[in-house]
Structure 1
Amino acid sequence: MATPHPLSAAALLSVKGWVAVVTGGGTGIGLMIAQTLAVNGARVYITGRRADVLETSARIHGSPERLGLSGGSIVPVVGDITSKDSIRDVVAKIRDREGFVNVLVNNAGTWLGKTEATPEDGPEAFSEGMLAEDKEGNWQKTYDINVTSQYFVTAAFVPLLAKAASSPAGRPGNVINIGSISGLLRLPQNRQFAYNASKAAFTHLTRQLAFELSHDNINIRVNGIAPGYFPSELTTGPSNEENLSVVDEERFLRFVEGMGITKKGKRMGTPGELASVVLTLATNEFIWGTIMVVDGGLSLTAPGTM
């Protein structure tokens, strides 16, 4: 078999034989990323709390028919990122099976609510609407899942990621954190303050982890992606029987126009548009500490942009 040209996509973006971990990999953006890595030859461990969802996604999207002859595999591993014991258990299972991890994708996240009142309701009503938000069930839980747990998952995988350099791939391990454009905008997107603030914190955590883990004694690359709107259970509602999210384009258009977005960013992104960025960050050893915005231009035209 002929060796691909060093500047070909096959050579530049190959993850053949890699070991990958994608948290929240059973649906939405996580499933898109898991498919991307698996179809390009990686063995991908998808984690989450719902065993049935993980098993369905692994069976359907990890089948040889879907991945093709050069594909890898998708392996379900039940785990809860909010539990240190569960995180350690997942890491131990992968350590025993593989001995290293080439790429960790911190994708799991949550959206738990927003302020129902609006500034148009006046100062008293808006104040009461803000105070009515659930402190523990919304704000604290959102931060726990979207920020704190991401820190502990990354910490637990550091030893396996550090061993990637001596794996068959011979490259430093890397982490890709899936944040959100919501963490970079002043626009609160219909007053989802807790979610947006948590994603801003996760973006800054990504920068700090990128700095610390770049130390020569560890040598792990950390980068982030700030996606705009992509089909997921957070943006379109429940998944279908194959754990895929279906977009209602007209409904989405009304939604973004209601926030004053009238130019770019008026459609959801596609799996392919996310996949190319994931493969680039995973394989390009010259990218360290970058937050890649993938939003269809929404941040260029949204009121109160970055």
Structure 2
Amino acid sequence: MASPHPLSAATMFSLKDWVAVVTGGGTGIGLMIAQTLAANGAKVYITGRRADVLERSARIHGTPEKLGPLGGSIVPIAMDVTSKDSIKSVVAEIGQKEQYVNLLVNNAGIYGSRPNARPENGPEAFGEAMFAEGDSNIWQKVFDTNCTSCYLTTAAFLPLLAKAASGPTGKVGSVIINSSVSASLRIIANSLTIKYAQVSKAAVSHLTRQLAYEFSHEKISIRVNGLGLGYFPSEMTTGTSNEQNESIDLAPRFAELMSGMDLQSVKRMGTPEEVATIVLTLAVNDYMWGTITIVDGGLSLRAAGDL
């Protein structure tokens, strides 16, 4: 039987013998990414705070029947990305089982809430509502989860990522940081917030570039790239998950959201396949260093921003 062509998808995107870690991997985009990696041969550790959600996702989506003949596995492991102790504990646990980690996907994130007033309510009402957000320390919570956790988690996994190059694949370790297209946009959807969309995610995008620069040093040599995703079905964008821990694109609701931002040209949310193709590319393409790839259905072509 002839060997697969070296430029065939099966050859180029094979993740056989890979070990990957996906934070926030139990639902939404994180679960899409975990399934993508596992379906192509990787052993994927999915992390999150909700152990029951992780275990359900692994049980439903990590079976040999679901992943196919070239599939790897999905392993649940609880981790709070805002806790240094939790991160260190999980790194130690994975380090006892694995000699290396090929890929770390920093995906976990939250969005907080909007102020109770809006600009059209005038300076006094809007200023008071903005100031009141500090009462719950929500700014710090959003930054700890969306940005600081990426820094700390990547730092903790750095030794295992550095060992990837001496593993069976011979490829250097890689980090993918899931930011958001909103990092470069000035428009704010009703479901998003200034601290999420315009500030914490902008910080994540800049952190991606900075880590890419730092880790390009010859004594580390780990690739770092980012994702600037638009709207994909997740608990953040649809508000819920089904019994399979997957979220469904509700077309009427999405159309209403786009209409509210005068972005009717974006007709639908993205699909798992559209996440999969870019994740696989970032994972295996050793010539990509320090990029932030926008996948948003054309949203950023119409929205005000600075890309």
1:182 aligns with 2:182: yes
Aligned equivalents of 1:218 and 1:177: distance in 2? Answer: 18
CA positional deviation for 1:156: 0.4
Counterpart code for 2:243: E
Counterpart code for 1:253: A
What is the TM-score when the length of structure 1 is the normalising length? 0.97
SS of residue matched to 1:75: strand
Aligned equivalents of 2:38 and 2:32: distance in 1? Answer: 10
Q: How does 1:192-211 map to 2 (within 5 A)?
A: 192-196=193-197, 197-211=199-213
Aligned equivalents of 1:296 and 1:98: distance in 2? Answer: 38
Aligned equivalents of 1:304 and 1:150: distance in 2? Answer: 24
1:81 corresponds to which residue? Answer: 81
Could you list the structure 1 runs, at least 4 aligned residues long, displaced by more than 6 angstroms after superposition: none
CA positional deviation for 1:135: 5.0
Q: How does 1:252-291 map to 2 (within 5 A)?
A: 252-263=254-265, 265-291=266-292
Q: Contact 2:45/2:74 (CA < 8 Å) preserved in 1?
A: yes
Counterpart code for 1:55: E
2:98 corresponds to which residue? Answer: 98
1:228 aligns with 2:230: yes
Alignment coverage as a number of residue pairs: 305
For residues 267-297 of structure 1, the C-alpha deviation after alignment (integer angstroms, 9 at most, x for no partner) is 1000000100000000000000000001000
1:108 corresponds to which residue? Answer: 108
For residues 157-205 of structure 1, the C-alpha deviation after alignment (integer angstroms, 9 at most, x for no partner) is 0000000001111100000000011111121334611102100000000
SS of residue matched to 1:164: helix
Give identity over the alignment, percent. Answer: 63
CA positional deviation for 1:49: 0.9
SS of residue matched to 1:26: coil
Q: Contact 1:262/1:301 (CA < 8 Å) preserved in 2?
A: no
1:242 aligns with 2:236: no
CA positional deviation for 1:12: 1.5
Q: Select the residue among 217, 225, 228 that pairs with 2:219.
A: 217
What is the TM-score when the length of structure 2 is the normalising length? 0.96
SS of residue matched to 1:234: helix
Q: Contact 2:189/2:257 (CA < 8 Å) preserved in 1?
A: no
Is the deviation greater in 272-281 or in 61-70? 61-70
For residues 118-138 of structure 1, the C-alpha deviation after alignment (integer angstroms, 9 at most, x for no partner) is 222222222222222245431
For residues 184-235 of structure 1, the C-alpha deviation after alignment (integer angstroms, 9 at most, x for no partner) is 1121334611102100000000000000011110110000001100000101
SS of residue matched to 1:239: coil
Structure 2 gap ranges (5+): none
CA positional deviation for 1:304: 4.1
Aligned equivalents of 1:78 and 1:163: distance in 2? Answer: 24
Aligned equivalents of 2:131 and 2:54: distance in 1? Answer: 37
2:151 corresponds to which residue? Answer: 151
Aligned equivalents of 1:257 and 1:305: distance in 2? Answer: 21
RMSD (Å), alpha carbons: 1.2
1:127 corresponds to which residue? Answer: 127
SS of residue matched to 1:262: coil
CA positional deviation for 1:305: 5.4
Structure 1 gap ranges (5+): none
Aligned equivalents of 1:304 and 1:147: distance in 2? Answer: 21
Q: Contact 2:164/2:173 (CA < 8 Å) preserved in 1?
A: yes
Q: How does 1:150-169 map to 2 (within 5 A)?
A: 150-169=150-169
1:19 aligns with 2:19: yes
